[in-house]
Structure 1
Amino acid sequence: MFTNIERWLEPGAQIKALIDPLFRLLTSLIFIIGGLGHFGQHDVMLDRMKESPWSGTVEMIGDPSVMLWLSGLAFVVAGVTLALGWMTRASALILFVTLVPVTVAIHVVPDTSHIGPLFKNIAILGALLFFWARGPGAYSFDNSGKALELTR
């Protein structure tokens, strides 16, 4: 019975192909918008970093302001390239490597109000691993010279 339900719910090949760019776009928007926030709300984000129990570690690694600018740049650039499906695996890894320390520094704190954002970031890390392992899927610049594979 459950097999029949699963079969009935499975989308067709064209819908599956449309999900690929939609998944890339929806995942990348959080990085593009958030990365722009690193520039537009720089002081607010610096204050949030200073409140973190990891602020001393962050300062030992480097200037928090410079790291905020660099992470914002990585989020925006790699977010756009992920959305386009261009250098998808590299973009996913850049975003992953940038998001891990941001997640630890900002969301791994004793304050329970950070549980939701922490697990949101964990889910996003999972999506990035998916792109790294599977590639861009259909309708991407990475696959523009190849025939689109509409079935998996």
Structure 2
Amino acid sequence: MLEKLNPLFDLAGRIFIAILFVPAGISKITGYSGTAGYMESVGVPGILLPLVILVELGGGLAILAGWQTRIVAFLLAGFCLVSALIFHYQPAEQMQMILFMKNIAIAGGLLFLVANGAGAYSLDARLKKD
């Protein structure tokens, strides 16, 4: 019975993941200078911010649409792991370690997309039919 709902679960999962990345990318545009300053404070060049915005906003929208899902999910998983290590791995700070583990968990969810694809309600499925 639940197997019939798998396409809806796939879609819901992609929406939930996109809800994380799309607003994060938008907030980096609206708070550009503050975000660049924060990046620089931890040793990441602020000049990389446009790339971060592209990854979060573009990657989130691609996941939402189910376009090139396996590739985009793989890249976003790597992004989550790298950002977890750079920004959140601070074992003495409980809140930072919670954020670190959140990023690890998100990377795990993205790897499910890498393994299983976007599902039936996606551009990937639609383009595969054509």
Where on the TM-score scale, by shorter chain, does this alignment land: which range? 0.7 to 0.9
Partner of residue 138 from structure 1, selected from 120, 126, 130? 120
Q: Letter of the aligned partner of 2:21 in structure 1?
A: F
- The question of whether the paired residues in 2 share the 8 Å contact of 1:89 and 1:132 is answered with yes
In structure 1, the partner of 2:98 is 116
1:34 maps to 2:16: no
1:66 aligns with 2:56: no
Matched with 2:56 is 75
Structure 2 runs not aligned, ≥5 long: none
Letter in 2 for 1:35: G
Percent identity, aligned pairs only, is 28
1:127 equivalent in structure 2: 109
Q: 2:107 corresponds to which letter in structure 1?
A: L
With 39-48 and 23-32 compared, the bigger mean Cα shift is at: 39-48
Structure with the greater alpha carbon radius of gyration:
1
The answer to whether the 8 A contact 2:36-2:47 is kept is no
Between Structure 1 and Structure 2, the one with more helix by share is: 2
CA distance in 1, matches of 2:32, 2:12: 29
Q: Give 1:24 deviation, angstroms.
A: 0.5
User: Is the 1:86–1:141 Cα contact (8 Å) retained in structure 2?
Assistant: yes
After superposition, what is the alpha-carbon deviation per residue over 1:15-48, rounded to whole angstroms, capped at 9, x for unaligned? 2221111100111111111111221122332343
Structure 1: runs of 5+ lacking an equivalent: 1-10, 59-63, 148-152
Deviations 1:59-115 (A, max 9, x none): xxxxx2221221111111111111111110111022122222222111112432212
TM-score by length of 1: 0.74
Partner of 2:78: 97
SS in 2 for 1:143: helix
Cα separation, 1, equivalents of 2:24 and 2:118: 22
Q: Aligned pair count? A: 128
Give the counterpart letter for 1:89 in structure 2.
R
Q: Say which SS state the counterpart of residue 142 (structure 1) adopts.
A: helix
Is the 2:78–2:107 contact (alpha carbons within 8 Å) kept by the matching residues of 1?
Answer: no
How large is the RMSD of aligned CA atoms in angstroms?
1.9
Structure 1 residue 50, shift from structure 2 partner: 4.1
TM-score, normalisation: structure 2: 0.85
* Counterpart code for 1:116: I
